[in-house]
Amino acid sequence: MNNKDLKHMISDKEKNLTTNHIKTLEVLNKHLDDYLNLLEQSLTKDRLSQLILKDFMEVSNFFITIGDQEYNKVQTGKNFDFTTIHSLHYLLSESFKDTMLIHRDVLLQLQISQNKKQESLVDDKAIQHHLKESKAILEKAIHSFIQKISEEQNSIQQTDKKRKKLVSKAKHQQNPWEVYKNQFLTIQNQAKDIEKSAYTLADIILVFRDIKNHTQTICTTLISELESSKQTIIRVMDSVQNLDEPVKTSETISLIEKILDDLDLKNPQQETYAFDIELKIALLKENSIPVASEDGLLLIKKIDFNKSAKKWLNYMLLPDLIELWQNRANLVAFYKHSLHNLKSSLTLLKNNNTLETLPSQVQSIQNLLLSADTNEKLQRKIIGEVQKKFSTDFLVTNIYDTEDFLKVSLQSSMTQLTSSKNKFLIDVDRKIQNILSFFSTKYEISTADNPFKKLEASSKCIEYRTFKASNIHYDTLFLNKNFIGDLFLVPRETEKQKLQESLNLWEKGHNKAALVVGNNLSGKSTFIESVAKDHFDKQSIVLEIDSTISVEGRKFTTTKNLAEALQHIKKHTYNFRPLLVIDNLELWRDKNHSLLDNVRAAIEFIESESDQVFVIMTTSSAMQSHLDRRLPFSHSFSSIIDVNKAKIDEIHKAILLRHGASHRSLVTEKGLPLHNKQLELYVQKLCKNYDYNMGEVLQAWTYAITTTDDNRVVYQEKEYEFEDFFTTEEVIILKYVLLYKHINEIVLKNFLGKRYDSSYKSGLKRLINTKVFLRNPEGNLVLNPVLYHNIREILKYKGVLN
C-alpha cells in the first residue's frame, strides 16, 4: 500500500467520525425539539411539572447515555472520536447543566405556587401568570441550548487545521465527564426530592387547615352562644317590661328558671380541645424540604413540623383561647348571678302583691344586656386576632421565608406565662390543666405562706453577701475576673488538652472552631485569655461590641452588627492566621441587629474562614441550649468545651493561691489556725453547694471572710437562705436577664406594650429595690453577681430554664 492510498484511508476514517459526530448531535437535537414541542402546548401547572419530571428527565438521561458511551470509548481506547468527546464533555455539558438547574428551579417554584394556592394565598390569575412566565423561561433555556448545539455543528465545518488545533488543545485537559455526570444525577435526584416534598407539604397543609378549621369552629360557637344568650336576655327584659300586674310575675319567673337550667359553666369544647388537637398534630413529623436555590445549590430546611406546630399553638394561640373561655365563663357566671337576683326580686314582688320596684329590675336587665354587648365586642376582637394569626403565621408556606418557621416571640412567651396565672384557671373547670399539660407549659405557681417573711430572709442573704469595704484588699484577690500573673492562673488541664487537639489539626489546614460554654463566673473569659497568650501571642483579635479593633494595621470600630465586623476581619486576614475571640455572644444585639442574625453571620464566617482564622466563641449553657432550638448552632463548631464545672483540686488550688497572695493568717471564729484538713472540708462543701463553678466558689469564699487589723483572716461560716419570693412576671424578667445578660425599662416596654405598665412595671421596680438587679455604668439592669446560682436554681425548679 502506497502513501497515497494510506492518506485516502485516513481521510475516509475522519469523514466517517465527523459524520457520526454530526449524527449524534442531530439525535440530541431531535430529543430537544420533541420536548420543546410539548413545552409549547397549552399546559396546566400539574402538566408542566410532569413534563419536567418525565419528558425533560428523559432528555437528560439521553444526554448522560451518549456522554457515557463516548467516555467508555476513551477508557477502552477503541474507535473514539475526540471531536464528539470534545463537544459533549467539554463544550455542551456546562450549558446542559445550566439548563437542568433552570428546570429544577422552575419545578421548585411551581411547587411553591401550588402550596400557596392550596393555602389560598394566591388567586387563579396569579397562578396563570406564574405558569406563563415559567414556560417562557424553560422555552428560552431550551432554545439557548439548541443554539449552542447548532454553533457546535457549524464549528465542525471549520477547516481541518482549526478543528485539529481546538482538539489538540482540549486533549491536554483532564476529561470532566465524571464530574458533570455526578452533577446531572444529583440534579435529577433533587427534582425527585422536590416532587416528593410536594406531596408531603400537601398533606401537612391539610393538617394545618384541619387545626385552623377546628379552632375557628370553636370561635364561631362562642359567638353564636353569646348572641343566643343576648336574645334570651332580651326575652326576659320584654317579659319584665310587659308586667302590668303582680300575678303575671309567675310566667317571668318560670322563664328565668328555664334559662338558669340551660346555663352551664362547663364548656365541652374547652375540655376536649387539647385531645382533639393532639390527634391532629400527631400526624406531623420532621421533614427535609427544598425551599430555595442559591448559586446553583438547592437549599434544604429540616423542620420538625410536629414540634413547631405544638410550640406555636402553645405560645401564640392558647393564651387567646384561654381568654375567650375565661370571658365566656365570667359572663355565664354573671348571667346566673343577675338572673338569680332578678328571680328573687320578682318572687318578692309576687308575694307582696306589688310592682313598686319593677323599674329597678328593668334597669338591672339593661345593665346585663350592656355587659353582654361589651363582652361580645371583646370576644370578637380576640377572635379577630386569632384569625389574623392563622392567616399570616400558621402557614406551611412560611417555610419558604427567611424567618424562622412559626417563630415565637419573647412577648408571646410572656403572655403565655401571664395567662397561666389567671384565677380563671383555678376557679373554673380543672380540666383546663390537661391543655396546659399537653402543650408543656404547665408552670408551678408557688405562693409562700408568708411572702413578706421570704422577702425579709432574702434581703438578709443579699446583705450578708454584699461586698464589704473592710475586706476590699482581700476580696479583690478573689473577685478579680482577670488573673494577676501566671502564678494566679489555675490551668484547666482537661479542657486545655481538648482545645490543643483542635489547634493541632487547625495548624495542619483543617477548618476548626471552638465553643466555650459555661454559666456566669465559670471562667470562660479567663480560659480563652490563657489560650490566646499560650498559642497566639499577639496574633489574636478580641471582638467586643462598641470597641476598636486593629487587623493588619487597619482599625475598625465595632457596633452591634457582628456581620459587618466579621466582614472586615475576613478582608484583612489573608497574610496571617490569627485567633478570633467572640466573648459573651449574647451581648451582640440591639433593635437593628437581632442576636439570631448576628449568630447566623458568625456561623457563616466559621463555615468559610475557620481554616484561616481559629474562632473561639463563648456563651452560657442556657443560651447554647436556646440557640440550638433555633439554629444548627452547636453543630457549627468542631469542639465544644464546657468549663461549667472545675475539679475540686483546681478550685482548692485557686483558693490557696489567692489567699497566699494576701499574706494573712487564716483562723477560725475562735482565733485558732484553720488546718488544711478543715480547709479542704470547707472547700468541698462550697463546691457541692455551687455545682463546682470555680468563680462562684471563689465568690462564696469571700462571704464568710472577715479581715482584722492584725493581718488575720477570720473564716466564719454562716447560712442565709435565699428564698423564692418572685411573682410570675418577675420570673419572666429574670429568665430574660439570665439569658441575655442585661435589660432596661425601654426594652421591656417595647416588648410588652401596655402590659408593661399594668403587670410588669411594679415587678421590675421590686427587683431593683431588693437589689436582685443592679444598674451597670451603661444604665442597663444586670443580675446581682451574688445571686447567679440561686436565681438559676429557682428558674430550673420552676421549669422555666433547662
Give the type of residue at 401: D
Contact (CB, 8 A) for 548 and 510: no
Quickly state the pLDDT bin for 427 (edges 50, 70, 90): very low
pLDDT at 109: 92
Closest CA to 461 of 71, 784, 800: 784
Report the chain's C-alpha Rg in angstroms: 38
Closest C-alpha to 194, from 269, 108, 122, 261: 108
pLDDT at site 136 = 92
CA gap 227, 340 in Å, rounded: 21
Distance CA 494, CA 643 (A): 10
Scanning the structure block, which residue is given the C-alpha cell 446531572? 184
pLDDT digits (tens, 9 = 90+) for 240-256: 787 777 777 788 888 88
User: What is the rounded CA–CA span in Å between residue 250 and residue 257?
Assistant: 10
Task: Name the H helices within 353-450.
Answer: 358-392, 410-419, 423-427, 432-438
Task: Tell me the CATH number of domain 726-797, given options 3.20.20.80, 1.10.10.10, 3.90.1010.10, 3.40.50.620.
Answer: 1.10.10.10
Beta 297-304 vs 286-294: how paired, if at all?
Answer: antiparallel
pLDDT exceeds 80 at position 122 = yes
SS3 426: helix
pLDDT in tens, 744-786: 888 888 777 777 887 788 888 888 888 888 888 888 888 888 8
Under DSSP, the state recorded for 470 is G
Contact (Cβ atoms closer than 8 angstroms) between residue 782 and residue 776: yes
Asked whether the domain spanning 726-797 has the same topology as the one spanning 493-642, the reply is: no
Give mean pLDDT, residues 36-47.
89
Highest average pLDDT, of 12-26, 124-138, 516-530, 692-706, comes from 124-138
- Residue 321: predicted pLDDT: 85
348-361 average pLDDT score? 76
Would you list the domain boundaries of the chain? 12-175, 203-438, 456-481+647-715, 493-642, 726-797
Alpha-carbon dihedral angle through residues 313, 319, 322, 328, given to the nearest 10 degrees: -120
Greater confidence (68 vs 485) lies with 68
Span 223-251, average pLDDT = 81
Architecture of the domain whose range is 493-642:
3-Layer(aba) Sandwich (3.40)
pLDDT of residue 194 exceeding 90: yes
Q: What are the residues facing 515 on neighbouring strands? A: 617, 640
pLDDT tops 80 at residue 540: yes
pLDDT band at 141 (very low <50, low <70, confident <90, very high): very high
Give the sheet arrangement for strand 579-582, strand by strand. 540-543, 579-582, 614-619, 513-517, 639-642
Confidence at residue 475, expressed as pLDDT on a 0 to 100 scale: 63
Q: Indicate the range of 165-174, 506-515, 551-560, 638-647 predicted with least confidence.
A: 165-174
User: How far does CA 193 lie from the centroid of its chain?
Assistant: 25
The pLDDT of 499-510, averaged and rounded, is 85
In the chain, the percentage of residues whose pLDDT exceeds 90 is 15
Q: What is the 3-state secondary structure (H, E, C) of 68-125?
A: HHHHHHHHHCCCCCHHHHHHHHHHHHHHHHHHHHHHHHHHHHHHHHHHHHHCCCCCHH
Partners of 580 in the β-ladder? 541, 615
CA–CA distance, 198 with 290 (Å, rounded to integer): 10
On the question of pLDDT at 429 being above 60, the answer is no
Determine whether 20 is exposed, middle or buried from the number of CB atoms within 10 Å of its CB (0-12, 13-18, 19+).
middle
Considering the chain, what is the average pLDDT of its residues? Answer: 79
pLDDT at residue 94 is higher than 50:
yes
Mean pLDDT of 616-625: 88
- Picking from 211, 11, 173, the residue whose alpha carbon sits closest to that of residue 93 is 173
Alpha-helix residue ranges (DSSP H) falling in 523-628: 524-535, 562-571, 595-609, 621-628
> Grid coordinates in use for 728?
410570675
- How confident is the model at residue 645, as a pLDDT? 85
Most confident range (mean pLDDT) of 87-101, 193-207, 454-468, 604-618 is: 193-207
Angstrom distance (rounded) from CA 455 to CA 724:
8
618 three-class SS: strand
Stretch 32-45: mean pLDDT = 89
Question: What is the maximum span of the chain, computed from C-alpha positions, in angstroms?
Answer: 144
Q: What is the pLDDT of residue 666?
A: 78
The answer to whether 149 and 29 have CB atoms below 8 angstroms apart is: yes
Q: How much is the pLDDT for 476? A: 66
pLDDT tens digits along 355-369? 776 777 778 788 888
Report the 10 Å Cβ neighbour count for 674.
16
Confidence bin at 575 (pLDDT 50/70/90) = confident
